Chain A
Amino acid sequence: MTARTVLTIAGLTLREAARRRVLRSLAGLTVVLLSLSAWGFSRIDAEFGGLTSGESRLVAALVLNLVMFGLSLIAALGTAFLAGPTLAGETESGIALAMLARPVRRSAVLLGKWLGLVTFGSGFVAVAGLAQLLIVQITAGYWPPRPATGLALLAAQAAVLLTLGLLLSTVISPMASGVVAVGLFGATWIAGVVGALGGALGNASVAQVGTVSRMLLPTDGLWRGAMNAFQDPTLLGQFSEAFEGHPFLSSAGLTLSYLGWATLWVALILGLAAMAFQRRDL
């Protein structure tokens, strides 16, 4: 019964994402980004003919990470702005009244929403990310070493952010929850860059900023893991100075314990959201 509710709501959320304008705007943004990157990658070879093969691989990896960052931003924005309205909007408009008066658990409805949004975000990352990788392969002849891991980590990053969006939307208004979630996402990314610079400069307390923020909101940590998966591992040996404190290159992959923390973090936040939603008067 509860499983059916979860699946029904997940299906409904996917249908909502598909039928709302947000999908079209996402598709539009993605197409723009992909075509820009296709043009850019085709120019790398033309403009920098004198690069060694190692250098051109470094450039390709760097630009790929830059574009992937754009994609992850679109995924994060898209899902965070879907997560807000889907819960807070429905409680505000009254759509939730008729649904929650059915014999369903509120936590099952919330889990269904989450599952639908995660599926949507992952689907977007898979399709748009794969298209990007193919573009790089065709234009620059570069294929990342662990594409599936990289894309999975990007999807996980979107999942982390939308979980936060869901928690926020149980307590604040739909628009505000999207804005706050995206703001925190940006802040964590910047804190990550600051931390990396601290590491490069050998300043332990500045480096600590990145570590702490990566624990508080695992989006940046997952993003750095994804970047690492898109880079050719031989580059690190060749250009180790370039990696120090660089926002679009990552010198280390993810540890299993960090992945475990990110999973636990999502479960905790989802549990908190379920509790807040359960207690709420509609």
Chain B
Amino acid sequence: MTTSEAAERLLTELPVSPAVWCSGLRKRYRKQTAVDDVSFTVGRGEVVGLLGPNGAGKTSVIKMMLDLVRPDAGEVLLLGRPARDRRSRARVGYLPELFRYQPWLTATEVLNLHVRLAGVAVPAAEQHESLALVGLADRAGDRVGGFSKGMQQRLGLAVALVASPDLVVLDEPTSALDPVGRADVRDLLLSLKARGVAVLLNSHLIGEVERVCDRVVILDKGRVAAAGTLAELLGRRELRLTLDGVGPAAQARLTAAGELAHRGDSYTVALPAEPDATTVPDLVADLVSLGVRVHAVEPGRISLEERLLNILRGEASEPNPGGNPMPNPESTEEHR
């Protein structure tokens, strides 16, 4: 076996490197710290959402990943290569937050340009398919200068997808799109996920992130405020009950089921992530036998939005002792 064969074998036997690996990223703009010690990974074929308020440093992180901005410290590997190496971006598609394409070119020409810059061979028919995928098939020959914002963003999606990427970085991909466009993007993301393409999605639309992402990284003031799978972040389920005639025994029974909070007639019990199928019916049967009158039973799940607001507003991940464990945005305001 020659040395190069040995090296090749060694490489193929190595575990596949993640799509994105960032460690200790820092960036200051004059006196303002934009990104402070941010580390995260995006596995191959994984869809990760990057969430956070305006100015949290999301776009700076993305630009450092793509070598558009130089980090003051930290390291990035894209698809196993250091980000400083331009070849790391050979199979990366990117839709910038500020999406503009040469207004004097047609949509087809823009795609063709990007295919050439990417250094891959994509037949014209496939390039046209990318346009069709984002609903621009009938505008392929039109100059980009005449496109609306929404159409330019759709074109940007086609540009990000055209060179058969292994990693797609989308920075606010639906900011200029109408509800139909947003639904299209969601379908697109799901189809990328099905094809095993890794996606890093920066979006303000939490619902969008919740529906398509495997994991979420929440940035706040340039730092990672929380990160994990949706199940980890939104692990708890809850049960909202409207009851009257709750005596001490009934109260004890409720507390035994899970952490309890109540305000007037309404009781909220926090349940484990995957409660037993019998947990809820048993609880209700026991309450009734204890003489409690049950008006309503409503199972629920903490939404990502609530969780995000909790994290960003500095609430601990544990429920508020003595208060409503499920603060809605208004009640959270009161706790500040």
Contacts and interface: CB of A to CB of B under 8 A. Distances in A.
A10 to B, nearest CB: 12
A281 B68 contact: yes
Interface string B106-117: 000000011011
B68 A101 contact: yes
Contacts of A99: 113-114, 117
Contacts of A103: 86-90, 117-119
A102 B89 contact: yes
Contacts of B159: 98
B82 interface: no
Given A93-B100, A103-B89, A98 B156 contact: yes
B92 A101 contact: yes
B69 A15 contact: no
Contacts of A20: 104
A255 to B, nearest CB: 41
A143 B277 CA distance: 100
A133 B159 CA distance: 47
B119 A1 contact: yes
Given A16-B102, A16-B104, A282-B63, A98 B90 contact: no
B94 interface: yes
A281 B101 contact: no
B114 A98 contact: yes
A57 B102 CA distance: 49
A104 to B, nearest CB: 6
Contact of A94 (B87, B100, B105): B100
A281 B71 CA distance: 9
Interface string B85-99: 011111010111011
A41 B113 CA distance: 47
Contacts of A102: 89, 114, 117-118
15 contacts: A1-B119, A16-B102, A16-B104, A93-B100, A98-B101, A98-B114, A99-B113, A99-B114, A101-B67, A101-B68, A102-B114, A103-B90, A103-B119, A104-B86, A282-B68
Given A1-B119, A5-B117, A94-B99, 18 more contacts: A12-B113, A93-B100, A95-B100, A97-B68, A97-B96, A97-B98, A98-B101, A98-B114, A99-B117, A101-B94, A101-B96, A103-B88, A103-B117, A104-B86, A105-B86, A281-B63, A282-B63, A282-B68
Interface of A: 1, 4-5, 8, 12, 15-16, 19-20, 93-95, 97-105, 279, 281-282
